[in-house]
Structure 1
């Protein structure tokens, strides 16, 4: 019997292929997890818990009236307070920062309001949309907030106010500067007080993400920052530094601290330097030496109030001189 050799086919191992597919599968899961966690973190940042306005005893607050007005296409209702000075036609509008309400420094805000009242100014404070007792839920770091300020200015101009000083803190400060460039009532705004504004939105979003996030920077920080900007629909058009030519020559008081943070420590100074170089009107800059971002008022309250009052009175005097020319 004739025997024929048997040919054996070499068996290919499927192990490398399985390992490759497993790695791909794991990477997809990791990316999906990073995306989901980043989106959740960004949603939490853009939808901060509302700090509701407390019931205030009449013995610690000046007399005030409840006010409200609507803004935006969705007719968001904005609620606030108006602290009148009898017969006055000049009003300081206070605009709070991210995660706050109409009382930026809670009850410690009242000494500032009371002093401005004694100096002859009405004071208006309100909750930005998505904050305090106002409607809405999303913080847009200056986009919608600017519209809210424009609504406040319109509200005042439809009543008895003739001269307005905008005063903002952090996001509110940058929004005040932006509102100045967009309002049809610019001639009525005789000054802006900006406490810790951002010069460009990327710096501020970096700061908010870092201060709000407990996750490791890599890979989450870039992903969260991207998601924050997409959810809030913001872009570099919010950069204050690009609007300097429209801010000038309105008098501006810029308040800064001595904080050591790469995302916040140069912003106010940069705005001041740009304003000083381009404006015929003297720029005002005060550094309180506060160790932390946005804490100038809390660290040097008496001096802070003096700076604000002196600047406000100077704005009124300069406006009177301009009318006589």
Structure 2
């Protein structure tokens, strides 16, 4: 029998042994690992997109807060005759709608400046009760909507940049109705906006500021936490990045420090509760320390929450605000008398 043998390849020859075949299970593991890695990267990308989108949505919500529609009007709520009015903002960039509630032969007016996320009614304050009381004290009353609360002349909420121009427009309208004495009564961001308007030189006789809110990085982040719990960094940076895209203004344009450090040349009555979780009491305390006017006052209410001090401490609220208004009115009369005397002397 003939036996044939296969010769072994010579060393250094180009003929290599065939590679061993991997078991199918090892190929499956590699495929699974590749798929898992792709899924991991996809989840990271989706999470990043969702995280960024969340902050874009927060910036949009800050600049476009939901606002309830009107439920009443001065006549229905308090039997107060009124007129629907429209006037331009001070910079003539927007139109502003409001209610003018006249008092018989009065030259004294209170402009009510509502807060963020509310309209001129701001029922929880309650605005209609204040309007009625002021009317009974022989004040004209102007209630109006900031642009973020307007359905006809909508503008984004800008922390007072656009709103201060709208408030000055309201003050100019009231002056045009023959108002010699003018007080702004503001709530929350409406109070902060009033002070921002004052920095622009608006002539008023006094301000009553309830639960004053001044937008800055700390107060904005604190209010975001009321909606959703997110880390301050990088969340606040992302919101500040998106805010100009949603509102047209940068948050750093708001003169937060200057608002609190300025000594205004008219008296302020600052009202704030220690349990306020939207605007820290320190805001009003800081503003109060900066004031030089002898009539300026600070009333800090233990345990009171944001914008609810009238409802929870009604009697004292009425007493303090009435007393302040009377002092301001007496000062306005004395100022007018002094001006008349000076004019008479010059004429002589």
What CA distance in whole angstroms lies between the structure 2 residues aligned with 1:66 and 1:125? 10
Residue 216 of structure 1 is matched in structure 2 by 229
What CA distance in whole angstroms lies between the structure 2 residues aligned with 1:155 and 1:108? 23
1:242 aligns with 2:261: no
Cα–Cα, structure 1 residues 115 and 74, in superposed 2: closer, same or farther, change >3 Å?
closer
304-313 or 30-39: which moved more?
A: 304-313
- TM value normalised by structure 1: 0.83
Cα–Cα, structure 1 residues 8 and 162, in superposed 2: closer, same or farther, change >3 Å?
farther
Cα–Cα, structure 1 residues 135 and 229, in superposed 2: closer, same or farther, change >3 Å?
same
1:55 aligns with 2:72: yes
Q: Are the counterparts in 2 of residues 181 and 247 from structure 1 also a CA contact under 8 Å?
A: no
Secondary structure of the residue aligned to 1:63 is coil
Alignment of 1:8-47 (within 5 A): 23-47=40-64
Q: Are the counterparts in 2 of residues 203 and 264 from structure 1 also a CA contact under 8 Å?
A: no
What CA distance in whole angstroms lies between the structure 2 residues aligned with 1:200 and 1:321? 36
* Aligned pairs, number: 316
Residue 298 of structure 1 is matched in structure 2 by 311
* 1:203-232, Cα deviation, whole Å (9 max, x unpaired): 332233222x2x431488436633563333
Alignment of 1:1-325 (within 5 A): 1=7, 3-4=9-10, 6=16, 23-56=40-73, 57-58=75-76, 60-71=78-89, 75-105=93-123, 108-183=126-201, 185-186=202-203, 189-211=204-226, 213=227, 215-218=228-231, 221-222=235-236, 225-226=239-240, 229-230=243-244, 231-232=246-247, 233-243=249-259, 246-259=262-275, 261=277, 264-275=280-291, 279-323=292-336, 324=338
Structure 1 residue 256: Cα displacement: 0.4
Q: Are the counterparts in 2 of residues 198 and 240 from structure 1 also a CA contact under 8 Å?
A: no
Which consecutive unaligned segments of at least 5 residues does structure 2 have? 1-6, 23-29, 340-348
Q: Are the counterparts in 1 of residues 262 and 290 from structure 2 also a CA contact under 8 Å?
A: no
What CA distance in whole angstroms lies between the structure 2 residues aligned with 1:36 and 1:80? 36
Secondary structure of the residue aligned to 1:216 is coil
* 1:240-283, Cα deviation, whole Å (9 max, x unpaired): 431356552211110101216485232212211232xxx25343
What CA distance in whole angstroms lies between the structure 1 residues aligned with 2:108 and 2:268? 17
* 1:180-205, Cα deviation, whole Å (9 max, x unpaired): 1114x42xx11011111134522332
Q: Are the counterparts in 1 of residues 77 and 128 from structure 2 also a CA contact under 8 Å?
A: no
Q: Are the counterparts in 1 of residues 240 and 251 from structure 2 also a CA contact under 8 Å?
A: no
